[in-house]
Copies of this chain bind each other. A is one copy, B any other.
């Protein structure tokens, strides 16, 4: 039971990889299952054997994107012991991750509409948002923000960072926009957490 399982895994991963490219380039609606099938050279039956539907394929793609972004964040703050510095570093890393068209189109634009806002945020909760809240709880313990603000501010901070990332992405002058955006993000952090 190994060759079969391996083959199935390979097909599944191949589909996710191909779909990632197409979803990024043409968006969810602009990408037909037909196109994925052709690009991956896989049959309809095979795809629907691995995924119950188009949205499940999208969810799988989203999952791998999360994995990558999470890994980048974890690598960036590896070994840091000051939580405040780690938070700031993680936020800047996230903005830089969001420069990637895959992250932008899949995570920020299509995900809320495809999965629904609720499911989207629940997914986030278990990943990025959860860690952000932990960091803010630390700030609350230090008396920098009121404990009751932790949840709202975590969401506000994430949404604000996402917005900055999108602004940078669509700017004409990428380099200067990135510099200004990252400075703005730092400023936002200072103000939000009462430096």
**A contact set with B: CB distance below 8 Å:** 27-29, 108-110, 112-114, 116-118, 121, 146, 148-149, 151-153, 155-156, 158-160, 162-164, 166-167, 170, 180-181, 184, 187-188, 191-192, 194
Contacts and interface: CB of A to CB of B under 8 A. Distances in A.
A149 B118 contact: no
A164 B192 contact: no
A48 to B, nearest CB: 20
B170 A118 contact: yes
Contact of A170 (B117, B162, B191): B117
A91 to B, nearest CB: 12
Contacts of A184: 149, 152-153, 156
A162 B114 CA distance: 19
Given A187-B149, A192-B191, A164 B170 contact: no
A162 B164 contact: no
Contact of A155 (B116, B146, B155, B163): B163
A163 B161 CA distance: 12
A172 to B, nearest CB: 12
Given A160-B156, A160-B160, A192-B192, A180 B113 contact: no
Nearest to A156: B160
A164 B160 contact: no
A117 B104 CA distance: 10
Nearest to A160: B156
Contact of A181 (B28, B114, B152): B152
Nearest to A113: B113
In this complex, the member of A29, A155, A181 whose beta carbon has the largest number of chain B beta carbons within 10 angstroms is: A155
A194 B192 CA distance: 10
Given A191-B191, A192-B191, A152 B166 contact: no
